Homo-oligomer: A and B are copies of this chain.
């Protein structure tokens, strides 16, 4: 199977897992469950699950064991999008080409749907049958996901992002926000794949961290480039929405050329980190390409 075919297969797997774990839309409270399904199953690039599967594949982990961590991480990502879109935050009407959850339902339901997606994510890690024989891995998966999403990770990054609105940041400040807001959960995706492989060495963990920290930043800069280019069809957001929200972005501060060059350099760094590893690590190489070049 070609790389694109494998990506499609992984995306199919995580969507099937999410569908299986999300409560049915006709189970009460229906409106809440509808909103949870709407927020999670409405498309998306599924970058984080791809990273879980690609890392697990490189380390010889059976696919079935990776379904739960992939779904859990994607739920946390979807949770953060629902809250980021709220009127009190970015106040966005459109996400993935459809009305945002608070627009499609109402604000209270959007807050609560996302609130319920967090425990669902942690609950999946603690109860998925494929993981139950590995309690040490389960504990590490929970710890890694928790750390990535807390006030020193994704949520802290969003707070800093909001606090920075309208203020002029330099490249280092922007990269710091990116690393928290997006980078930490991307890193958790790769580490989670590694947690599922018994006997992953400390050296391998360090190498994977260097890989994803470079790749994660490249991905975020690329995402901002797409936003500036106004590719609503690709990103599903209104083109230029970052600009409209006075968000400090890499291209806005350093210009498009520098941004493009930085993304390319970071992609090279990520690829270099895994270039001397065996053919089984091919999965990490094509995933890096796939993620950064997806619409470049």
Residues of A within 8 A of B (CB): 23, 28-29, 31-33, 36, 79-80, 83, 86, 88-89, 106-109, 111-113, 115-116, 118-120, 122-123, 125-127, 132, 135-136, 138-140, 142-143, 145-153, 155-156, 158-160, 162-163
**Across-interface contacts of A143 in B (CB, < 8 A):** 123, 126-127
Cα A235 to Cα B127 with chains together (Å): 37
Contact between chains at B111 and A88 (CB < 8 Å) = yes
Q: Taking the nearest CB of chain B, how far is it from the CB of A30, in angstroms?
A: 10
Q: Which residue of B lies closest to A36 (CB)?
A: B151
Q: Taking the nearest CB of chain B, how far is it from the CB of A270, in angstroms?
A: 26
Cα A138 to Cα B120 with chains together (Å): 16
Q: Which residue of B lies closest to A153 (CB)?
A: B119
**Across-interface contacts of A132 in B (CB, < 8 A):** 139
**Across-interface contacts of A86 in B (CB, < 8 A):** 108, 111
Cα A138 to Cα B135 with chains together (Å): 8
Contact between chains at A159 and B29 (CB < 8 Å) = yes
**Across-interface contacts of A156 in B (CB, < 8 A):** 28-29, 32, 116
Contact between chains at A159 and B32 (CB < 8 Å) = yes
**Across-interface contacts of A151 in B (CB, < 8 A):** 23, 29, 32-33, 36, 113, 116, 120
Contact between chains at B112 and A158 (CB < 8 Å) = yes
Q: Which of A106, A107, A149 has the most C-beta atoms of chain B within 10 angstroms of its own C-beta? A: A149
Cα A156 to Cα B150 with chains together (Å): 23
Q: Taking the nearest CB of chain B, how far is it from the CB of A224, in angstroms?
A: 21
Q: Which residue of B lies closest to A22 (CB)?
A: B151
**Across-interface contacts of A146 in B (CB, < 8 A):** 119-120, 122-123, 126-127
**Across-interface contacts of A163 in B (CB, < 8 A):** 29, 31
Q: Which residue of B lies closest to A89 (CB)?
A: B108
Contact between chains at A135 and B126 (CB < 8 Å) = no
Cα A112 to Cα B28 with chains together (Å): 27
